[in-house]
Amino acid sequence: MDNSRAHFAVEAGQWQTLGAHFDGEGTNFALFSAHAERVELCLYDPSGTTEIARLNLPEYTNEIWHGYVPGLKPGALYGYRVHGPYDPANGHRFNPHKLLLDPYARELVGPIKWSKAHFAYDLDSEDKDLSFNDMDSASGMPKCRVVDRNADGWGSIQRPAVGWSDTIVYETHVKGFTQLNPAIPQELRGTFEGLGHKAAVDYIKSLGITSVELLPIHEFPDDSHLLDKGLRNYWGYNTIGFFAPAQRYCGPQGLRGFREMVRAFHDAGIEVILDVVYNHTAEGNELGPSLSFKGIDNFSYYRTLPDNHRYYINDTGTGNTVNTSHPRVLQMVMDSLRYWAEDMQVDGFRFDLGTILGREPEGFDERGGYFDAMTQDPVLSRVKLIGEPWDIGPGGYQVGGFPPGWAEWNDKYRDSTREYWLNGDNCAPDFAARLLGSGDIYDLRGRRPWSSVNFITAHDGFTLNDLVSYDHKHNEANGEDGNDGHNHNLSHNYGVEGPTEDEGINALRERQKRNFLATLLLSHGTPMLLAGDEFGRSQMGNNNGYCQDSEISWLHWENLPESCEALRDFTRRLITLRKEQPLLRRENWRDGMVIDWFNVHGGVQKPEHWLDGNALAVRLQRDDLAEQPDVWSNILMLFNPVDADAAFTIPATGGNDWVLELLTSNPEQRGDMAKENQEFVLPARSLALFRKG
């Protein structure tokens, strides 16, 4: 060891740029820790198995430990050992026997090979985390790799820059979309390069999608309790490296493969949005492993109970909560986001449990440090920002509570739409608000209709097919005795649980799928489509596929019934209509649009009528669109969620007759004329869209 160490000198370096940075001649290392007493930089051979040097970072400036290693080039593998007090009662969990990952590492190499050594305390001790574990964890830890950030320049590139009101989001998974796709070469399936393959990009573009939203791609481990059951972390909501792409998705080109994927989507005019998890890490609670942050400066990186710093505040439900109130932790989040937005050229972010990021010690604050930092940042304030506006902590439900400039997942839209097409009691008023952009929530402070990200389904919960095929979740494969996943699904099987050969039930299910898709894409706000819903993908009733890196979660592309292709064509048609017609993608609450609600008798819907039944009619009109060729200035939508035909009297609005453009009970039917004050029978459980002739 001494001979190997002699090959490396270490100089003072600089503290201003955190992480490992190659300057063309050597590499600078800088690590934040406010409470450490000493930091050792451990260098490894190319295999990552043999330590070839251990160097003390020689300088400590403004709570940053730093040093410069001349001649150390990109590709070098490293990790840290951090010395300090092991004092859980006061929030400190230093243990130099644990090799730790650099929070700023751009690339990680190797898996976590779980053992007792990963824990800073003795798992067999009765004192649990108050005990101390001197087992060395290096052999079971990934290593960080020095990356030359300037090696792969983008060259000339044009971002799609899709306007919010034009945005159609497609939520998908790198592996799930590609693993079974026969159009993608076998060696690229499950990778960034596979998703960036021409066949994948062309398919998504053919749907009319503008923005692909990827489930987490930051480095995350497979939890030991899942591996023990033969399962894996599929979704990836358990980050351990906020700058490093997950190794499992890297193909032959490695890190460059991510950039090539982004480039391929950009060349097709499609944005890339990342689902990111800055609310917690994979280190869990006080009994969790020491992999990075916990051993570097636990008291700074995590929120601990004010009266007992041994324990963590658990507003995330995962064991720990990242402390974005600390300026260096906030800086790490911001630096990470800027890295992905600038170096990796992504176009936006969806923030898992986003309410956490707005939490200060006194609770959620939309003027907290994190939101203020984002609002003024010259890079991040210009990309798409989507919040999941809830967590499990006090006051954690914040739909409508995020600052101007943010869009939000609107679960009120999801639940209202599901309940409406189940013909729930007295649900028409809320459905009407959701259909027209949830102005009751978002029409304030200059926010726009696009602030509402509308969705019927997402990765968490039933797929669209399963929403109309199952009354209950079927999560047996998860190994949790059916105790995981949502119980309140607002779903229905229409007579048989799961797949059936009953033609009548299948026909009704297909109609309901069309109703949901039509509602989603005809609603104001930003539509989000779950990948595979366009052709009726099933998870066989599993509504919590977080651990199913298997055919349960992967998209199946072959041997699909004809109904799948018909549904896909219907989805494409809806997206085309939305793109062509401004009345269907409202940009501004103050655009002069006239909105009139009518009852089935053709009269104006008065307050006392809203609870008479759920069949509704709405007319949207913008006279300023009348002079544009092929653009509708006047449309009428009829909704009938009831299990019986509804005889609508076409309301008298003046002008030409109405022309049928879309009917979910019969997608092939269009062009029918409907005269004012005459009856139009809308079949049970269906939706109709008319335009003025």
The single residue of 219, 283, 352, 408 carrying the catalytic annotation is: 352
Cβ atoms of 401 and 364 within 8 Å: the answer is yes
- The Cα-based distances of 121 to 86, 117, 160, 212 in angstroms read 10, 9, 50, 42
Coil, helix or strand at residue 430 = helix
Long-range contacts of 412-417 (CB under 8 A, 24+ apart): 412/438, 412/441, 413/438, 413/452, 413/454, 413/455, 413/523, 413/525, 414/454, 414/455, 414/456, 414/457, 414/458, 415/490, 417/454, 417/456, 417/516, 417/519, 417/520
Q: How many CB atoms lie within 10 A of CB 552?
A: 18
Task: Give kind and range of the element (H or E) at residue 577.
Answer: helix 562-580
Is residue 126 flagged as an active site residue? no
Phi, psi of 513 (to 5 degrees): -60, -45
The single residue of 271, 275, 315, 388 carrying the catalytic annotation is: 388
DSSP character string of 343-365: IS---EEEETTGGGGGEETTEE-
Query: Distance between CA 214 and CA 35 in Å, rounded?
Result: 36
Is residue 411 flagged as an active site residue? no
Query: Distance between CA 19 and CA 32 in Å, rounded?
Result: 9
The DSSP 8-state label assigned to residue 208 in this structure reads T
Place of tokens 């544009």: 628
Cβ atoms of 321 and 278 within 8 Å: the answer is no
Query: Distance between CA 667 and CA 515 in Å, rounded?
Result: 11
Cβ atoms of 690 and 658 within 8 Å: the answer is yes
Place of tokens 């990963």: 118
Strands 384-387 and 77-83: unpaired
Packed helices 327-338 and 293-301: angle between N→C axes, nearest 10 degrees: 120
The answer to whether the Cα torsion of 274, 355, 233, 140 is positive or negative is positive
Question: Catalytic residue numbers?
Answer: 352, 388
